[in-house]
Amino acid sequence: MLKKLLIIIFFMLFAFQVHSMDVMKISNYTVNVDVDKNPQHITYNITLQNMVNYPLVPGISEFRLQKQEPEKLWIIPIPFNKEVKPLKVENLKGYYSFDGVHRLPMKTYVEYYNNYSIIKYEIWEPIERRGNLSIFIEYDANILDEGILFKTLSIPVGCSMDIDHLQVRFNTKDYSQTYQNPPGDNFKVPKNSLIIINSEFSIISLPTLPTYGYIIFWLIIFTLLLIILVYGEIKSFGKEKKSNDKKEDGSENNNNNS
C-alpha cells in the first residue's frame, strides 16, 4: 500500500514539474513596419525554441494587437491621454518553416474585442526536441495616427513565453523618426508581460527629440499665443494709461486757467 502511494506521489510531482517548467520560448521576435505604405504593412519573424528533450506541438497560439492614439480636442492632441481601440487587420497571411527556407502555409485568423484584437495561428506539426520553428506572419493595418506635422504609432508585444530578443524596425524614406519610447532596438520581454513600443515620425527632417514632437509643437504654439495675448494686454493698458494721463493734465490746466 505504501509502495503504491509513493509511486502515485512520484508521478504527481513529475507531472507538476513538467507543467510548471518552461518548455518553449521565443528566441527571436522581429517586427518590421513599412511606415510609408497606406495602410502600413507589418511582418513578424518569430523563432520558437523547444527547450525539452521530447517533441512539442505548438497547437493554437495568439498575440494581441491594439491601436493607441492620443485623444484630440478638434485637431489638437491631448497629451498623455490615449484612446485604445482594436486594430483592424487586412490581408493576413501566415507561414511556418522548420529549416528557415521552405515555408508552409498555416491557418491564421483574427478575433475582435472591445479594445483589442487577436491574431491566432495554428501549427499541428511537432517541433523536434531542442529544435526550432520559424513563423512568418504579415498583414496590413492603419497603425499610423495622422497629424499635421507628426505621426505616431504604437506596437504592443507580449506573450505567454519568454522573448529573448525583440527587435522592432521601422522602414521609411518619407519620414524622419523623431521619438521612440522605450529607446533602443533590442529588448527582452518576460513571459506574461507586455511591452509597447511608441514611436513618432515627422515630414520635417528633425533630430531625435526627448518627447513627442507634437507636444513640443503645440507647446510652442500656445506659448506664442500667450505672449501675443500678454503683449496686447500690456499695450492696451499702456494706451489707456496715457489717455488717462492726458485727461488729468487737461483738467489741471483748466483749473489753473480758471
Tell me: the pLDDT tens digits for 44-90? 999 999 999 999 999 998 888 887 766 666 556 565 566 778 889 99
CA 93 to chain CA centroid, Å, is 21
pLDDT at 5: 38
pLDDT at 20: 38
* Other CB atoms within 10 A of residue 209 CB: 16
Q: Does domain 22-211 have CATH number 2.60.40?
A: yes
| Residues in contact with 69: Cβ distance below 8 Å, sequence separation at least 6, in sequence order | 82, 83, 85, 145, 152, 154
Q: For residues 68 and 83, is the Cβ–Cβ distance under 8 A?
A: yes
pTM, two decimal places: 0.76
Closest CA to 124 of 210, 61, 215: 61
Q: Where do we find the cell 506572419?
A: 137
pLDDT at 254: 58
Q: Where are the alpha helices (DSSP H) in the chain?
A: 2-20, 213-257
- Phi and psi for 192 in degrees, rounded to 5? 60, 30
Distance CA 30, CA 103 (A): 17
Show me where the domains of the chain are located. 22-211, 212-248
pLDDT at 10: 36
pLDDT at 214: 82
Segments in the chain below pLDDT 70: 1-21, 69-82, 238-258
Q: Where do we find the cell 491574431?
A: 119
19-22 LR contacts (CB < 8 Å, sep 24+):
22/51, 22/161, 22/162, 22/191
pLDDT at 246: 64
| Residues in contact with 132: Cβ distance below 8 Å, sequence separation at least 6, in sequence order | 27, 47, 48, 49, 50, 98
